Amino acid sequence: MFRLRRQVYCDNNATTAVSRATRKAVNDVLAHCYANPSSPYKMAHGAAGILANARERIARAINAPTHTLLFTACATESNNALRAIVPLLPAGKQAILYNPLEHPSVLESLYWLRERGFELIALMPGDKGRITPADVGTAWRDDVGLLVCMAANNEIGAIHDVAGMAGIAHAHGARIFSDMVQALGKIPVDVSASGVDYASFSAHKIHGPKGVGALYVREGAPFAPFMLGGHQESGLRAGTESLHNIAGFAVAADGIARLLSLAPALRQKRDAFAATLKHIAPDCVFNSPCGDECLPGTLSVTFPGTANAVVMGQLDYHGVSVAAGSACNTGEDAPSHVLTGIGLTPEAARSTLRISFPHDLSEKEARYVATVFEDVLSGKAKRITALQPSQLTEEVLFAPGLFIIDLRRSEKPVYLLKPLPDSHRFPFYSIGKHLHEIPRDRPILVTCETGYDAPVIAYYLKRKGYAQLTFLMWGILGWKLSQPELYERFAGQHPRE
């Protein structure tokens, strides 16, 4: 018997596949309507019409008046609009009550405001990361002018009752900002009925293109221009609109009704998959809420004592793409703030995976993913040798013929850890372009700073036909902590670019 290798993308909270209809709309605009919608001549009138039509369709999808929707470059930009909202809060109401499990683009904006004198008051997440209107009511203070809470969490899938929270905020004369990026297309979103004053959205979470987002600003809610330099978007967000992406966003928004129709079946498949995982690994722990309190395709699960990076690499080798529940490659090995915020230890966070299924997940795909998980967790799947930091001795370091790969993320301006001696530096994100530089007839040791990237790339190389592969568990950080004398003597010697 044999099993065909499938490719099943299970990281849909990160991004989604662009639909065929969306691709066509984007290409049509690029090819036939490239004029600037702000220009006065005839050709630009068509572009302006596309812009107006797209705004109307997207606004309809969230039940918002058309003029309340602003286009941005992404949801992160929309969330950064907090910096334009908070300074307009009335005197005596300049404290901000917020969910500490928000997306980093929200948290970093709030921290920026705190540095400028605004007080932040963190709500305390309850079981499985949920915050209720009752929690908001208990934490409320008279000087709160803005409540910030996402509609659904991107890591664990917890859904929040923002409508109930909005009622409390308005009863106290305050406003509410909600990141609705993960909610759109997965649960019904109605900004008018929910009562939110501000809401952020992203096209690429609903099978639209990357590079375009939206910000809803309720009529009458205070808002100042946050991008200066032009009259676009009613003078509130300067810059020529990305017309082709906006057209694609509109097509994706048209498909929301279909996505919502698939949600109940997807929720059933997720629950069945969770039951299968519990049978395969009885000690696994689910961090996501149950049933309707969680996004339909999202499941956060901890496998105690198992390094998530290793499991990710093995799953990826078999065509299953998932995300880690821990952002490890930082030099400090910092775990996810969401997972630690709901009570997980850093060790448990580093043993956590986030699975986010596509809406159209088939029964065959679900079975395949479950089978691959069973093979990986039971040890049936072929594994690459993992080298413990304590095993990386001087003899191993300088073994004849050893080719050491030092993975680095190019966007990091400063690396806190020095590489192994005589190692060859490769970029994590584009190592595929450098395969001709990696010998196939020598033993290879794959390393990175904290152990997150090395197993993923090791299994990638295995898929590309490399045979003599080993990766360093816990990365150079683990080696430095385990063998500090060797690190001081040899780290950083003779690096190869």
77 CB-contact burial (10 Å; exposed 0-12 / middle 13-18 / buried 19+): buried
Six-digit token pair at 101? 């499990």
Q: What are phi and psi of 73, to 5 degrees?
A: -80, -20
Helix runs in 13-86, H state only:
20-32, 42-61, 75-80, 82-85
Measured CA to CA, the distance from residue 174 to residue 86 in angstroms comes to 11
Annotated catalytic residue, options 10, 33, 74, 328 = 328
Query: What SS3 class is residue 480?
Result: helix
What is the helix (H) or strand (E) element at residue 366, kind and residue range? helix 363-378
Measured CA to CA, the distance from residue 406 to residue 487 in angstroms comes to 15
Task: Based on the residue annotation, tell me whether 74 is a catalytic residue of this protein.
Answer: no
Pair 274, 296: CB distance under 8 Å: no
Q: What are phi and psi of 52, to 5 degrees?
A: -65, -40
In sequence order, which residues have a C-beta less than 8 Å from that of residue 323 and are 6 or more positions away?
11, 13, 14, 312, 353, 354, 355, 356
Measured CA to CA, the distance from residue 346 to residue 450 in angstroms comes to 13
Measured CA to CA, the distance from residue 385 to residue 411 in angstroms comes to 29
Beta bridge partners of 294: 158
DSSP string computed for 83-139: HHHGGGSPTT--EEEE-TTS-HHHHHHHHHHHTTT-EEEE----GGG---HHHHHHH
377 CB-contact burial (10 Å; exposed 0-12 / middle 13-18 / buried 19+): middle
Q: Which residue has the tokens 């990237």?
A: 453
Give the other-Cβ count within 10 Å of 423's Cβ: 24
Closest to 406 measured CA to CA, from 398, 396, 415: 415
Show which residues are catalytic. 328
